[in-house]
Structure 1
Amino acid sequence: MTTHPAARTMRATPEGLLWEPSERWVRGTAGDVTVVDSRHPLLVWEPRLPVPQYAFPRAEVRTDLLRPAQDPPTGRHTGSTVFYDLETGGGVRPNAARTFPAEDLAGHLAFEWFRRTGTGLDHWYEEDEEIFVHPRDPHTRVDAVPSSRHVRVGIDGTVVADTRSPVLLFETSLPTRYYLPRQDVRLDLFEATDHSTDCPYKGTADRYWSWRGGGAVPPDIVWSYSEPLPAVAAIRGRLAFFNEAVDLTVDGERLQRPVTPFSAGLRT
């Protein structure tokens, strides 16, 4: 059988890293300086990190702006990593770039992503679309599907939402999220907050609400995307609840509260 030339092949290194080539054009900027302009990036997964990162050939990086790190961190990444400070007209960004301790990845550099670590570059683009938080995982799928299921949400015995026209958001490795029409949610029982979060697959959740009723209910339990990314446009303006902290009933069946990577952060 002939393998399509665009087929991805996941490869492993002795250090426990996984990597595969990407065909996306990726750029990264610091201020008005383009530091990365790559048409041959690699996606790399570290054992302790659930999301991928990019590695770029040195020839596609402004290495003239990199200096050996003055105060390199320890224990943040796999193996013996060499760090570099980034020096531009806007100043020095410590530990912005690094190598990978793997022969397969020799000659490549990775950068910290500013919205995850507080350092690194300001903006990242795949083709002409800005991306946030971390690179999108090609093995993760996110689908927003309109439905006629009957969804009811309860908090401490109070029904706070009831609808028969949800949009179900299916995201690999996460529980189904139910995005509900605003008119079917008792927003009078909640208080708007100034919290916001970013997602590489959905965009910016720019509206959050907290429960007014007290009790052991985490803050910011409801969220909404005013301008989601085009791939999930069906959730625009709808409201979703953390399954981990509310009582969800779907078509008459009470769902168990899942344990997810978000569970630890849901604290009163």
Structure 2
Amino acid sequence: MTELNTADSVRTTPEGLLWEPSPRWVRGRTGDVTVVDSRHPVLVWEPGVPVPLYAFPREEVREDLLRPAKNPPAGAHTGSQVFYDLEVDGELRENAAWSFPADELAGHIAFEWFQRTGKGLDHWYEEEEEIFVHPRDPHKRVDALPSSRHVRVEIDGTVVADTRRPVLLFETGLPTRYYIPREDVRLDLLVPTDHRTGCPYKGTAEYWSWRGRADVPSDVVWSYPDPLPAVAAVRGMLAFYNEAVDITVDGERSERPVTPFTKALF
């Protein structure tokens, strides 16, 4: 077993990777096959990537299921040298895993998450709770707080939501999101779409688009019908992308923020 210093701090490698040991028991599966079963995972942040990933000691990975990659990608991960294809029950998943060249991470293997990249392992668990899309960042906080603020949302000058009973969601690194009861939203001005997204902090979201002719991005409104317990207060409520609509809080118009979502929206 590769020994790692377990002091509570983030380290940096010469390649620019940030990493720290995690105390969580992590398992990754493809179908009914457990590919990773680790009590010594490491969280890794790649330069320019806002979310972490896990890397695992080789001893806690089913290396017998890994094959040298037939078509390794160029520049897919920071300084990565070796990619692996994953073969489970006769199905080959290309470039599902890789290793970093950093000395500090020698002897570790990282995996793609299917829900994030469309390849890799299907299901991930921390302890007995399934987690989705990517590992949760221990340095990030998400709080959903009921409020009595007066929140009004306008699209192209039309008021589409007006409430004094929002839930404010505070998520590290993102603008405040205002979740509004459906009864306080002009649902007749919105049309449901087939778009769905997953979030490791909140769950699976469903979306609506604006019916009007204004230059508004599609899927500008979302809701979590069955949120994770930590943000249960937003259940069934609707939120609008601050980046694309006009939001007024207690009489003060908010500036439209520029976030990692802005480019995708526009």
Q: What's the TM-score, normalizing by structure 2?
A: 0.96
2:110 counterpart residue number: 110
1:251 counterpart residue number: 250
1:214 counterpart residue number: 213
2:234 counterpart residue number: 235
1:49 counterpart residue number: 49
Q: Is 2:223 aligned against 1:224?
A: yes
Deviation, 1:162, is 0.4
Instruction: Deviation per CA, 1:120-146: give whole Å up to 9, x if none.
Output: 011011111111111000011000000
Verify the 8 A CA contact 2:80 2:98 in the aligned structure 1: no
Q: Is 2:67 aligned against 1:67?
A: yes
CA gap of 1:6–1:148, structure 2 versus 1, over 3 A, is farther
Q: Distance in 2 between matches of 1:127 and 1:91?
A: 27
Q: Which runs of 4+ in 1 moved over 4 A?
A: none
Verify the 8 A CA contact 1:143 1:171 in the aligned structure 2: yes
Q: Distance in 2 between matches of 1:92 and 1:219?
A: 35
Q: Distance in 2 between matches of 1:90 and 1:132?
A: 25
Instruction: Deviation per CA, 1:190-236: give whole Å up to 9, x if none.
Output: 1111111100110000x211111112011111111000000000000
Alignment of 1:6-25 (within 5 A): 8-25=8-25
Q: Distance in 1 between matches of 2:116 and 2:204?
A: 14
Secondary structure of the structure 2 residue equivalent to 1:64: helix
1:176 counterpart residue number: 176
Q: Distance in 2 between matches of 1:6 and 1:70?
A: 36
Amino acid at match of 1:157: G
Deviation, 1:80, is 3.9
Q: Which runs of 5+ in 1 are unaligned?
A: none
Instruction: Deviation per CA, 1:142-161: give whole Å up to 9, x if none.
Output: 00000000000001111111
Q: Distance in 1 between matches of 2:80 and 2:207?
A: 41
Q: Distance in 2 between matches of 1:251 and 1:16?
A: 43
1:40 counterpart residue number: 40
Amino acid at match of 1:181: P
Q: Distance in 2 between matches of 1:12 and 1:241?
A: 37
Alignment of 1:109-188 (within 5 A): 109-188=109-188
Secondary structure of the structure 2 residue equivalent to 1:92: strand
RMSD: 1.2
CA gap of 1:185–1:247, structure 2 versus 1, over 3 A, is same
How many residues were matched structurally? 262
CA gap of 1:6–1:162, structure 2 versus 1, over 3 A, is farther
Secondary structure of the structure 1 residue equivalent to 2:198: strand
Deviation, 1:81, is 2.1
Amino acid at match of 2:226: E
Amino acid at match of 1:238: M
Secondary structure of the structure 1 residue equivalent to 2:20: strand
Q: Distance in 1 between matches of 2:184 and 2:223?
A: 14
2:190 counterpart residue number: 190
Q: Distance in 2 between matches of 1:155 and 1:127?
A: 43
Q: Distance in 2 between matches of 1:237 and 1:85?
A: 40
Q: Distance in 1 between matches of 2:18 and 2:192?
A: 42
Amino acid at match of 1:87: E
CA gap of 1:122–1:232, structure 2 versus 1, over 3 A, is same
1:263 counterpart residue number: 262
Amino acid at match of 1:230: P
Verify the 8 A CA contact 1:31 1:90 in the aligned structure 2: no
Deviation, 1:7, is 5.8
Instruction: Deviation per CA, 1:167-203: give whole Å up to 9, x if none.
Output: 0000000000000011000001111111111001100
Q: Percent identity?
A: 76
Secondary structure of the structure 2 residue equivalent to 1:121: coil
